[in-house]
């Protein structure tokens, strides 16, 4: 494909697709497509509720070459499709490729000779070619690497991170043949100042993406196990980690809840495909179990803290500060704070949740949690600092507590002397 005649459609306008569409709009005609008409309306008005793109950049892109649409027929004008839809897991933690397959079926309706279809969604090794490529062939009557071509360039977006942004993170690119891989390199080089790394095959690129987040999951699980171990020894694990980190080659991770769409999800894709290939990845699976069990562990620590101070959980007024899966970010995907809320509520505590970063409607519809608009002072038996949003670090959160109330810090974000317990 000639880069000068390219018309790009980015399918999926969430945390990954929108920054891509805005960046490419400085160079090429872009269609930002999403099946969520409400989302498309907001973006067309210059509003991004994910906060991944600032209003000035979004407006500039709209003034340039970016159009948004929820109408499938508008995809017919494209000759390069970039698919950035979610790839979650089901209730049994098996890969759920339905959104990816649905987007692929949509693109297949408009696929033409010479077109390139690029996937950025995280998948297990082999899925892009064996599942997506096969679907495109069967539904379009076109032949891969003869009539159309496949690319895979895994997203590396870190929601809420304003330092490691799209342009300054090295982009991995790959293709169904060498020509397509080089096309992706040329294409993404227009928007990636950090440069592109050409993986030898699509499967290598898929596998690399999977292990990036799996490595973090395993390292955090190690820290969580240290947390549990040192708590039994009455040793502050954060003091231990800070001390160990004085050595140059110590990797400083911290314990805590693992949420979001990447670290808590991607390992299951790797586990699935590994088992399909005949190997059970014991270390990865154990790390996942440790991190999945953390909400229950946190709840047990809360109950122990209250018991040690002769406070009963039934009818206790508890305030959870923070609901999003990470600080200073509105992303609620796979937040484990919801699990803690559910466990404490099941024990008949009266639990309020406050988070100005989270969307109240999304919190209610997706998690069944009604956000507290403004916590009352001198009102709570226990305050849990769950997500260290900047506002919680600059205000005196103990003001929410009754005179003998307790404050537990899940992230070690507050001064040690200010809290009654920290993980």
List C-alpha distances in Å: 422 to 27, 284, 301: 49, 27, 10
Using DSSP's 3-state secondary structure scheme, residue 417 falls into helix
- Taking CA atoms, 282 is separated from 4, 159, 185, 204, 267, in Å, by 49, 29, 36, 22, 12
Question: CB neighbours of 270 closer than 8 A, spacing ≥ 6?
Answer: 124, 207, 210, 211, 214, 281, 284
Whether the CB-CB separation of 110 and 287 falls below 8 Å is answered with no
User: Is position 54 within any domain?
Assistant: yes
My answer on whether 45 and 154 are in the same domain is yes
pLDDT of residue 281: 96
351 φ, ψ (degrees, to nearest 5): -105, 125
Identify whether 344 is part of a domain. Answer: yes
Answer whether residue 34 is part of any domain.
Answer: yes
- The pLDDT value given to residue 409: 96
Q: Could you say which of 269, 290, 311 is where a domain stops? A: 290
Q: Are residues 168 and 32 in the same domain?
A: yes
For residue 83, the SS3 value is: strand
Residues 158 and 303 in one domain: no
Q: Per 3-state DSSP, what percentage of the chain is helix, strand, and coil (rounded to 5)? A: 40, 15, 45
Q: Are strands 8-11 and 80-83 parallel, antiparallel or unpaired?
A: parallel
Q: Which CATH number does the domain housing residue 411 bear?
A: 3.40.50.720
- Mind listing the pLDDT tens digit for each residue in 406-418? 999 999 999 999 9
For residue 1, the model assigns a pLDDT of 75
> 262 catalytic, yes or no?
yes
Do 339 and 249 share a structural domain? no
Instruction: Calculate helix-pair angle for 202-232, 282-292, nearest 10 degrees.
Output: 50
Q: How many domains does the chain have?
A: 3
Assess whether 101 and 133 both reside in one domain.
Answer: yes
The pLDDT of residue 161: 79
Percent of the chain scoring above 90 in pLDDT: 94
Domain check: are 180 and 268 in the same one? no
Asked if 69 and 41 touch (Cβ cutoff 8 Å), the reply is no
Q: Which domain holds residue 300?
A: 293-422
Let me know whether 390 and 348 are in one domain. Answer: yes
Which of 271, 290, 309 represents a domain boundary (last residue)? Answer: 290
Give a yes or no: residue 28 inside a domain. yes
Question: What is this structure's pTM?
Answer: 0.93
Do the strands 171-175 and 149-152 form a parallel or antiparallel pair, or are they unpaired?
Answer: antiparallel
Q: Is residue 214 part of a domain?
A: yes
Which pLDDT value is given to residue 2?
81
Here the CATH number for the domain that contains residue 283 is 1.10.1040.10
- Residue 113 sits in the same domain as residue 126: yes
The active-site residue, picked from 80, 262, 329, 372, is 262
pLDDT in tens, 227-271: 999 999 999 999 999 999 999 999 999 999 999 888 999 999 999
CA distance 180 to 133: 14
Are 143 and 281 in a shared domain?
A: no
Domain-embedded: residue 398: yes
Asked if 241 and 229 touch (Cβ cutoff 8 Å), the reply is no
Judgement on whether residues 8 and 147 belong to the same structural domain of the protein: yes
Does residue 322 sit within a domain? Answer: yes
Q: Which of 200, 231, 255 is the last residue of a domain?
A: 200
Domain contains 205: no
pLDDT for the residue numbered 261? 85
Looking at the fold, whether 153 and 269 belong to one and the same domain comes out as no
Statement to judge: residues 107 and 255 lie in one domain: no
The parts of the chain modelled with pLDDT lower than 70 are none
Report the chain's mean pLDDT, rounded to a whole number.
95
């Amino acid at each position: 494909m000639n880069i000068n005649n390219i018309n790009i459609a980015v399918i999926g306008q969430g945390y990954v697709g929108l920054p891509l569409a805005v960046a490419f709009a400085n160079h090429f005609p872009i269609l930002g497509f999403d099946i969520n008409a409400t989302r498309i309306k907001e973006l067309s008005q210059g509003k991004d509720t994910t906060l991944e793109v600032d209003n000035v950049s979004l407006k500039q892109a709209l003034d340039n070459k970016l159009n948004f649409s929820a109408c499938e027929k508008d995809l017919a004008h494209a000759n390069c499709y970039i698919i950035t839809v979610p790839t979650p897991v089901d209730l049994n933690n098996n890969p759920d490729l339905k959104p990816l397959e649905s987007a692929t079926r949509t693109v297949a309706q408009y696929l033409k000779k010479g077109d390139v279809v690029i996937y950025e969604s995280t998948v297990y090794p082999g899925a892009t070619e064996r599942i997506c490529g096969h679907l495109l062939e069967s539904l379009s009557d076109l032949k891969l690497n003869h009539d159309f071509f496949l690319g895979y360039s895994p997203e590396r977006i870190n929601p809420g991170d304003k330092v490691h942004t799209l342009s300054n993170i090295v982009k991995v690119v790959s293709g169904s043949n060498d020509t397509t891989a080089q096309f992706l390199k040329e294409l993404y080089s227009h928007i990636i100042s950090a440069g592109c790394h050409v993986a030898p095959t699509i499967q290598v690129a898929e596998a690399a993406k999977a292990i990036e987040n799996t490595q973090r999951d395993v390292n955090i699980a190690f820290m969580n196990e240290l947390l549990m171990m040192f708590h039994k020894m009455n040793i502050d694990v954060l003091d231990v980690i800070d001390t160990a980190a004085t050595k140059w080659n110590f990797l400083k991770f911290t314990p805590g809840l693992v949420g979001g769409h990447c670290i808590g999800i991607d390992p299951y894709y790797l586990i699935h495909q590994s088992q399909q290939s005949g190997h059970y990845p014991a270390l990865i699976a154990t790390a996942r179990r440790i991190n999945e069990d953390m909400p229950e562990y946190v709840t047990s620590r809360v109950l122990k803290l209250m018991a040690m101070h002769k406070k009963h959980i039934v009818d206790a007024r508890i305030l959870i500060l923070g609901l999003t899966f990470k600080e200073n970010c509105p992303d609620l995907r796979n937040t484990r704070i919801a699990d803690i809320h559910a466990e404490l509520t099941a024990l008949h505590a009266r639990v309020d949740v406050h988070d100005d970063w989270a969307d109240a409607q999304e919190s209610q519809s997706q998690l069944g949690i009604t956000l507290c608009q403004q916590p009352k002072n001198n009102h709570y038996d226990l305050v849990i600092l769950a997500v260290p949003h900047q506002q919680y670090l600059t205000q005196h959160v103990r003001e929410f507590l009754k005179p003998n109330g307790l404050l537990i810090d899940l992230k070690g974000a507050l001064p040690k002397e200010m809290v009654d317990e920290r993980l």
